[in-house]
Amino acid sequence: MTTTPSLSLGMLDDLVGFRLRHANAAALRQLDAALAELGMTTAMFGTLEVLANNEVVAQGVVAEALGLNRSTMVPIIEKLHDKGWLVRERTPEDRRTVLLRLTDDGRRAMRQLRREVERHEARLSEALAGLDYDNFMRGLRRLCEL
């Protein structure tokens, strides 16, 4: 976050939530830019990553796992489906439930997408050089459980 030298943030500068929000925004700006060159978003990548690690998942479960609103998932799923990277199926028991499965094309696309995300993660890790990375990640996970 860039501020002018004469601007005081007061107690904001020492608030965990404030710093987390700005750190998240900075990290996502870079990753969003890299993924945009591939016609992707972080939410689209997250969806594919969940599907790559689970054979079949209900759309609502993916949304919940990613912290997204179920209605937000609809355009994400539509774009990934249009690329041929996932298939949608309705369950016979409940026609409202949409099951998602990654296609072979989706698995191939994930190899390139993961390389880009790994490059981004390396830059973030470099920025955290000298910190106890494992404890930092453990702390972030605890905050996510609040």
The CATH number of the domain holding residue 84 is 1.10.10.10
Domains identified in the chain, total number: 1
Least confident of 10-14, 49-53, 62-66: 10-14
Instruction: Tell me, yes or no, whether 114 lies in a domain.
Output: yes
Position 98 in a domain: yes
Is 109 domain-assigned? yes
State the burial class of residue 113 (Cβ atoms within 10 Å of its Cβ: 0-12, 13-18, 19+). Answer: buried
Q: Are 41 and 35 in contact (CB under 8 A)?
A: yes
Which domain covers residue 72, as residue numbers?
14-144
> Using an 8 Å Cβ cutoff, are 90 and 100 in contact?
no
Q: Residues 75-132: pLDDT tens digits?
A: 999 999 999 999 999 988 888 899 999 999 999 999 999 999 999 999 998 988 888 9
Domain membership of residue 9 (yes or no) is no
6 in a structural domain: no
Give the span between the Cα atoms of 4 and 20, in whole angstroms. 20
Does residue 32 belong to any structural domain of this protein?
Answer: yes
